[in-house]
Structure 1
Amino acid sequence: MEMVKVKICGLMRHQDVEAVNAARADFAGFVFAPSRHQVTLATALELRAHLNPDIPAVGVFVNESVTDILATYRAGAIDIAQLHGKGTPAEIARLQAAGLNVIQVFERQAIDTTSKADYLMVDSGKGSGQVLDWQPIPPLAQPLILAGGLTPTNVGRASRIVNPDIVDVSSGVETDQIKDPVKINAFIKNAREEVVL
């Protein structure tokens, strides 16, 4: 049984990157879509420069054009594109042809098992902090990412039920809407703990 990997999303400040580096997260996320966590390309590039080079950077996009996503990738801000909204097979293929890995997000809807994306994510809603109705998900060809409403307290239980390859958190590791290094550490520790029955 592989250890669950952890993606900390919505990084906005140098302290956020330091916390992610120190806690040894497996993925770091920058949100380019309009939201409380939105960053500009310039900010993302600056933060990326401080991110441990072993940690892939994920860009979060909502119905963004392939051209704009590729511009962000070619600028050096991201390694992986996380697509909320449409993400047609043709668009996913174009991004992958350019060298990007793609996460296709399914929000409160069934996973399209024919998707050719590199990762498939189930999400209870973009950063809504709502807790998913966790259901076991049948094995997929690609790694499965679980997001939505995860916290240091519930990530262990969610992982046992859903059995994802990767868990994704943003507001669940914040205090007063700011990333909290203590919560980031606790989340990663609890996500990776071996399940003792």
Structure 2
Amino acid sequence: MTQIKICGLMREQDTQVVNEVQPDFAGFVFAPSRRQLSLKTALHFRNLLADTIPTVGVFVDEPLANMLQIYRSGAISIVQLHGHEPESTVQALKEAGATVFQVFKPNAPITPTAADYVMLDSGNGSGVALDWTRVPKAPHPFILAGGLTPANVTEAIDIVHPDVVDVSSGIETNGQKDPDKIRAIVKTAHAIE
């Protein structure tokens, strides 16, 4: 089974469909974007979500102290580093008890890291798909993100064999999470060995 992260929850009804389909991770965006949440909203959503679904906070070059404060609040158990964070930040987050997802961009070298997962993403929720045939051999556990939709996720998994797929814009309609697309992509990903 390929694990899946539903990222960029923005509304209470997003948490309802996530509880229904039980993805492996749910993501809250704290970085500046149209999906950005306040800590208060993230805590509210965390309370609405099933305890069995780990929550991920997405950050871009956020000060370490801020990330630690959000982690310690209980809103998230995983920190996703999407900027130019040094390895010392990864180490500090892990020492605090957080699980860390370290994001790399296409055509950038995947450097050694103490992060728990390495992610390759084509762009911050842009919906642009990678050329999956050119994805470098990455250490596992490995997360694939960028332009994944219910229509192409099977092909992406077949080519890349990621441990986790991460989806956001590919499960939206008119800028909002689409319950039917979420149901479809979670079912598809979980069906693939």
Note whether the superposition's TM-score is higher than 0.5: yes
Partners of 1:156 and 1:193 within 8 A in 2: no
TM superposition shift of 1:169: 0.4
Q: Secondary structure at the match of 2:119?
A: strand
Alignment equivalent of 1:164, drawn from 148, 162, 165: 162
Q: Which amino acid aligns with 2:3?
A: K
TM superposition shift of 1:112: 2.2
Q: For the residues of structure 2 that align with 1:6 and 1:15, how far apart are their CA atoms? A: 19
- Which consecutive aligned stretches of 4+ in structure 1 deviate over 6 angstroms post-superposition? none
Q: Which amino acid aligns with 1:186?
A: A
Q: Which amino acid aligns with 2:29?
A: V
Moved more, 102-111 or 181-190: 102-111
Q: For the residues of structure 1 that align with 2:110 and 2:101, how far apart are their CA atoms? A: 12
Match of 2:18 in 1: 20
Q: For the residues of structure 2 that align with 1:56 and 1:21, how far apart are their CA atoms? A: 11
Q: Please give the residue correspondences for 1:93-172 in structure 2 after superposition, counting only pairs within 5 Å.
A: 93-135=91-133, 136-138=135-137, 140=139, 142-172=140-170
Match of 1:174 in 2: 172
Match of 1:89 in 2: 87
Partners of 2:126 and 2:147 within 8 A in 1: yes
Q: Which amino acid aligns with 1:107?
A: K
TM superposition shift of 1:113: 4.2
TM-score by length of structure 1 reads 0.94
Partners of 1:137 and 1:163 within 8 A in 2: no
Q: For the residues of structure 1 that align with 2:110 and 2:173, how far apart are their CA atoms? A: 35
Moved more, 186-195 or 168-177: 186-195
Cα distance change on mapping 1:111 and 1:20 into 2, 3 Å:
farther
Q: For the residues of structure 2 that align with 1:158 and 1:113, how far apart are their CA atoms? A: 23
Partners of 1:111 and 1:122 within 8 A in 2: no
Q: For the residues of structure 1 that align with 2:146 and 2:100, how far apart are their CA atoms? A: 19
Provide the aligned length of Structure 1 versus Structure 2.
Answer: 192
Q: Which amino acid aligns with 2:12?
A: H
Ranges in structure 1 where 5+ consecutive residues have no aligned partner: none
Q: For the residues of structure 2 that align with 1:109 and 1:68, how far apart are their CA atoms? A: 30
TM-score by length of structure 2 reads 0.96
Q: For the residues of structure 2 that align with 1:39 and 1:194, how far apart are their CA atoms? A: 32
Aligned residues with identical type, % of pairs: 54
Q: Which amino acid aligns with 1:88?
A: P
Ranges in structure 2 where 5+ consecutive residues have no aligned partner: none
Q: Deviations over 1:142-171 (max 9, x none)?
A: 310000000000000000101000000011
Root mean square deviation of aligned Cα: 1.2
Q: Deviations over 1:44-82 (max 9, x none)?
A: 000000111010000000000110000001111100000
Match of 2:37 in 1: 39
Partners of 2:105 and 2:120 within 8 A in 1: yes
TM superposition shift of 1:194: 3.3
Q: For the residues of structure 1 that align with 2:24 and 2:88, how far apart are their CA atoms? A: 28
Q: For the residues of structure 2 that align with 1:8 and 1:91, how far apart are their CA atoms? A: 25
Q: Which amino acid aligns with 2:174?
A: D
TM superposition shift of 1:190: 1.5
